[in-house]
Amino acid sequence: MTRFAKSVEALRASQIRDLMSLATRPGIISFAGGMPGNDLFPLKYIDKITAELTEREKQVAMQYGPTTGLPQLLESLSEFLKKKGLPVESHKLIITTGSLQAINILAKAFVDINDDIIVENPSFIGALSAFKSYEANINSCGLDDEGIIIDDLKNMIESLEAQNRKPKFVYITPTFHNPAGVLYTYRRRKQLVELLAGHDIPLIEDDAYGDLTFESTDSADLTPIVSMAGNSLEVCYTGSFSKIIGPGLRLGWMLVPPTIYRKCELIKQAFDACSPSYTQVLADKFLRSGVIYDYLAEIRVEYKKRAKEMIKQLEEYLPKEVKWVKPRGGFYIWLRLPEGVNSTEILKDAIEQGVVFVSGKTFDPEDNADNAIRVSYCNTDVDTIARGIPIVAKAIKEHLKNK
């Protein structure tokens, strides 16, 4: 019957949907989700904002807005980003329907069929889906505890260039990586800028978690790469309201060089005309009133508490063969198991014991390596973490013993 576009065949069913239905099954302990806990949403602030909207603001909320975003939100978001040191003067801002849309738009802007791109391994599954949907040729480069491995990346770029396959961009999540939890060091960020600038390869910097640091003073490691690069490198920076207000608003943004801005606007115009005005009005009030800073302070404390408990449990129960890094922010801890271990099998056992997480293969751009586990502490309270991690550890141990 119907003949579909070839690019659609490149998309595969992700595990995520099935896991999510498990994760919300009553009684199951979930370390699977990458979403804020329901108990942590800023409902009291949103209620107040909603109650105080004027008739005129309500009309704006119900109407179409400009494709690039409501002017008031662009203004308050610029202010917010400026305070974080982002280059809002030299770059242009577009509000998107979640930051996944920003990544998708950039993929569409840069990628023709079979064009090469480079991502980290592991990488964010949403971005991988977007890249696959344009039939990009995805090359992946490993991460260590400081970030993407520069020598490997250099070799990969040179090898591709030698074959006339210059990569269209490099996509990374340098700040509290999903799923690897890694925070790129300042040194590694600098090396990356130099390498890419030398080859004139644009960078997509995905920063959905940067505000969720556990440290009380700003570390140089938190410097956005887009702020370090100046004019030496084209950096498209993406961010999200999903982790700092709520994913249900479906709002993110991209901060991009002017050369790319108009293309992105046209693509967005054809995608969904504009992002929801209704939630843009709420997000603007949330930023403009300064409530965002109070709320961020609250959730940082809570996520840090949860992370601390997970660290404690992992230190106590995990076998020594499992390698992992203590998170300094964000949502995730990435457990690296010995080579050849099948984490999907471990997941099956864990689910039988009432605990769910995401197995490593989900995040492998090559759809191959399965010897890792992502456990997230964002969506589970301290007591539940204390009950759940020993079960995960036990499932891992038994699997290692039986190998």
**Binding positions for a copy of itself, 323-382, rule CB under 8 A:** none
**What is the C-alpha to C-alpha distance for residues 130 and 136, in angstroms, rounded to an integer?**
9
Q: What is the footprint of a copy of itself within residues 185-204 (CB under 8 A)? A: 200, 202
Per DSSP, the three-state class of 124 is coil
Distance from chain centroid for Cα 395: 27
Residues 2-21 that bind a copy of itself (CB under 8 A): 2-8, 11-14, 17, 20
Does the footprint of a copy of itself cover residue 59 (CB under 8 A)? Answer: yes
Q: Contact between 232 and a copy of itself (CB under 8 A)?
A: no
Give the one residue of 23, 32, 61, 287 binding a copy of itself; rule: CB under 8 A.
61
Indicate the residue among 2 and 217 with the shorter CB distance to a copy of itself.
2
Q: Which stretch binds a copy of itself (CB under 8 A): 126-134, 301-309, 329-337, 365-373?
A: 126-134
Tell me how many residues contact a copy of itself (CB under 8 A).
82
Q: How far apart are CA 279 and CA 275, in angstroms?
A: 9
Separation of CA 179 from chain center: 8
CB 211 within 8 A of CB 296: yes
> Stretches 39-47, 290-298, 384-392, 395-403: which one binds a copy of itself (CB under 8 A)?
39-47
By beta-carbon proximity to a copy of itself, the closer residue of 113 and 220 is: 113
Closest by alpha carbon to 188, among 141, 231, 234? 141
In the complex, minimum distance from the CB of residue 351 to a copy of itself, in angstroms, rounded to a whole number: 20
Q: How far apart are CA 261 and CA 307, in angstroms?
A: 38
Query: Should residue 271 be labelled a site residue for a copy of itself when binding is judged by CB under 8 A?
Result: yes
Interacting residue with a copy of itself among 98, 122, 329, 388 (CB under 8 A): 98
Judged by beta carbon, residue 50 or residue 368, the one nearer a copy of itself is 50
CA angle 320, 356, 33 (to 5 degrees): 105
CB of 274 to a copy of itself, least distance (A): 7
Distance separating alpha carbons of residues 65 and 274, to the nearest angstrom: 6
Shortest distance, position 382 Cβ to a copy of itself, whole Å: 19
Distances (CA, A) of 336 to 95, 119, 243, 300, 347: 36, 19, 25, 26, 14
Among residues 39 and 383, whose Cβ is nearest to a copy of itself?
Answer: 39
Shortest CB 269 distance to a copy of itself, Å: 6
Within 318-354, residue ranges assigned H as helices are 343-352
**Residue 132 binds a copy of itself (CB under 8 A):** yes
Q: Report the sign of the C-alpha dihedral through residues 183, 250, 82, 292, in that order.
A: negative
What is the closest distance, in whole angstroms, from the C-beta atom of residue 64 to a copy of itself in the complex?
4
Nearer to a copy of itself by C-beta: 81 or 128?
128
Binding mask 276-315 toward a copy of itself (x if CB under 8 A, else -) reads xxxx--x---------------------------------
Q: Measured between alpha carbons, how far is 400 from 402 in angstroms, rounded to an integer?
A: 6
The SS3 of residue 152 is helix
Least gap, CB of 273 to a copy of itself (angstroms): 5
- The span from the first CA to the last CA of the chain, in angstroms, equals 47
Tell me the C-alpha distance between 282 and 249, whole Å: 9
Binding flag, residue 63, a copy of itself (CB under 8 A): yes
Residues 6 or more apart in contact with residue 100 via CB below 8 angstroms: 126, 127, 130, 252
CB of 3 to a copy of itself, least distance (A): 7
